[in-house]
């Protein structure tokens, strides 16, 4: 990335929280005329603005050039197998307005209903500018195209269903991501941390963040631990068609097949001896399976999210299995996830995509020239 391109200049301004023109000239070494022209283009497109005056040095006081995040918002849609969370956030991922509903992800109307909710939430704001849309789905996603691959949980969805539905409504940057990976981004505390995030709800998903970057893998399957075989080939049947997968033993769906009810019922009855025993067994299987991931990645933290992951019994049993299976030097902090991590992660991913230097350069190049 060149610091003298339009996108490079914006990245420089964002990194420093604002700079004067002279400071930018000192850092980049570019000519004043080129700098002024590029800053004018960024200002016309709403990327920057002139903020507070700096201390006078004689003559006309200089002003700090800042990144224009005023009124900028992201639409984040977290689609789980049995829930949907739709939110309008600021660029830091803080939710401004939101709605939640129970869904069945295989229902072909789920996506349109969620986008309708998003449109209504956006209409409820004043003076806002949508910079991008993030959609989290409980399936593997191709990192290059944003299409759904290996849709075990959403078999009725066409690969490009999410992308095409959003494009019909908004012409802004779009990020489509696996929900567990988006949750990992939302849980991440910065580029110095290695994090493993496991979502335990109806299914089991996993996201890994290293150095501030989420791992996606060659085919978008990094962290797809739910379909690792942990039992014999004669074990319980998984939705993927194989037997003995981790999800067939330890997912919320596997628990409900044994106990009945809903995930909410499991949470409400977590201290019932029968339910607690089933949760303990599932968490032990999950913790043992995660030992390989922990040893391979060596994370600072292992965060358990979703509906069932944060339950104290689950966190403690997973921690115990990790401690019994992994060498002490590799023990991570094992803790419950935070509510809304997937929405936060989607917002962060959208902001990273919308304001990437190459995206800014492309937007400037495509904009009409001033008369």
| Tens digits of residue pLDDT in 186-206 | 999 999 999 999 999 999 999
Q: Which of 117-126, 201-210, 216-225, 267-276 has the lowest mean pLDDT?
A: 216-225
Highest mean pLDDT of the ranges 60-69, 106-115, 339-348, 361-370: 339-348
pLDDT band at 58 (very low <50, low <70, confident <90, very high): low
Identify which has the larger pLDDT, 1 or 14. Answer: 14
Check residue 112 and give its pLDDT: 93
Q: Which domains are seen in the chain, by residue range?
A: 6-68 (1.10.10.10), 73-183+342-354 (3.30.420.40), 190-337 (3.30.420.40)
Work out the average pLDDT over 344-349: 97
Inform me whether the pLDDT recorded for 34 exceeds 90. yes
Work out the average pLDDT over 116-129: 96
Mean pLDDT, the chain, as a whole number? 92
Q: Which of 20-24, 77-81, 139-143, 304-308 has the lowest mean pLDDT?
A: 139-143
Inform me whether the pLDDT recorded for 55 exceeds 70. no
% pLDDT > 70, the chain: 96
Check residue 151 and give its pLDDT: 61
pLDDT band at 56 (very low <50, low <70, confident <90, very high): low
Check residue 60 and give its pLDDT: 62
- Which residues, 6 or more positions from 143, have their beta carbon under 8 angstroms from its beta carbon? 216, 217, 220
């Amino acid at each position: 990335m060149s610091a003298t391109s339009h996108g490079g200049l914006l990245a420089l301004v964002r990194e420093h929280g604002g700079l004067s023109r002279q400071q930018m000239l000192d850092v980049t070494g570019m000519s004043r005329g080129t700098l002024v022209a590029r800053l004018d283009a960024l200002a016309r497109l709403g990327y920057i603005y002139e903020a507070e005056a700096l201390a006078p040095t004689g003559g006309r006081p200089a002003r700090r050039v800042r990144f224009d995040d005023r009124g900028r918002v992201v639409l984040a849609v977290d689609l789980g197998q049995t829930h949907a969370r739709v939110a309008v956030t600021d660029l830091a991922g803080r939710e401004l307005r939101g709605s939640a509903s129970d869904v069945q992800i295989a229902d072909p109307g789920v996506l349109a209903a969620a986008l309708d909710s998003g449109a209504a939430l956006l209409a409820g704001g004043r003076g806002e500018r949508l910079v991008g849309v993030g959609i989290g789905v409980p399936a593997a996603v191709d990192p290059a195209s944003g299409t759904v691959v290996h849709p075990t949980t959403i078999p009725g969805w066409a690969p490009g269903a999410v992308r095409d539905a959003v494009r019909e409504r908004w012409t802004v940057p779009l990020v489509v991501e696996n929900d567990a990976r988006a949750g990992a981004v939302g849980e991440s505390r910065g580029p110095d941390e290695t994090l493993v995030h496991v979502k335990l709800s109806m299914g089991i998903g996993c996201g890994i963040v290293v150095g501030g970057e989420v791992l996606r893998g060659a085919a978008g399957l990094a962290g797809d631990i739910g379909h690792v075989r942990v039992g014999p080939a004669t074990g319980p049947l998984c939705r993927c068609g194989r037997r003995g997968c981790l999800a067939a033993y330890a997912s919320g769906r596997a628990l409900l097949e044994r106990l009945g009810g809903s995930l909410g019922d499991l949470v409400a009855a977590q201290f019932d001896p029968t339910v607690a025993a089933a949760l303990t067994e599932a968490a032990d299987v999950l913790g043992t399976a995660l030992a390989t991931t922990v040893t391979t990645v060596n994370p600072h933290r292992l965060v358990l999210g979703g509906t069932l992951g944060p339950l104290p019994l689950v966190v403690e049993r997973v921690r115990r299995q990790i401690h019994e299976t992994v060498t002490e030097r590799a023990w991570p902090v094992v803790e419950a996830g935070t509510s809304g991590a997937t929405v936060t992660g989607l917002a962060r991913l959208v902001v990273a995509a919308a304001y990437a230097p190459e995206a800014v350069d492309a937007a400037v190049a495509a904009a009409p020239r001033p008369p």
